[in-house]
Amino acid sequence: MQTRINHVSDARLDADEIYRQATAMRAEFIKSSVRNLISGIRGHAVSVFSSQAAAKA
């Protein structure tokens, strides 16, 4: 009986650890996606301003 209880608590700990890792990975993915999005917007803005400046010159 004791070993069964240990297996259940081990499985629960494993599930908690998997959930924690998945949450951390999701947070990291969201951060990198936002970073890439901001970087893309900046790059686009720079190219738009550059082309407008070139058109005025």
Residue 43 vs residue 9, higher pLDDT: 43
Q: What is the pTM of this model?
A: 0.59
**Could you tell me the sign of the dihedral formed by the alpha carbons of 24, 26, 30, 36, in that order?**
positive
Average pLDDT over residues 20-41: 96
**More confidently predicted of 11 and 38:** 38
Per residue in 35-47, pLDDT (tens digit) is: 999 999 999 999 9
pLDDT at 34: 97
Judged against a pLDDT cut of 60, whether residue 1 lies above it is answered with no
DSSP of 1-57, one letter per residue?
A: -HHHHHHHHHHHHHHHHHHHHHHHHHHHHHHHHHHHHHHHHHHHHHHHHHHHHHHH-
- What distances in angstroms separate CA 6 from CA 1, 10, 35, one per listed residue? 9, 6, 43
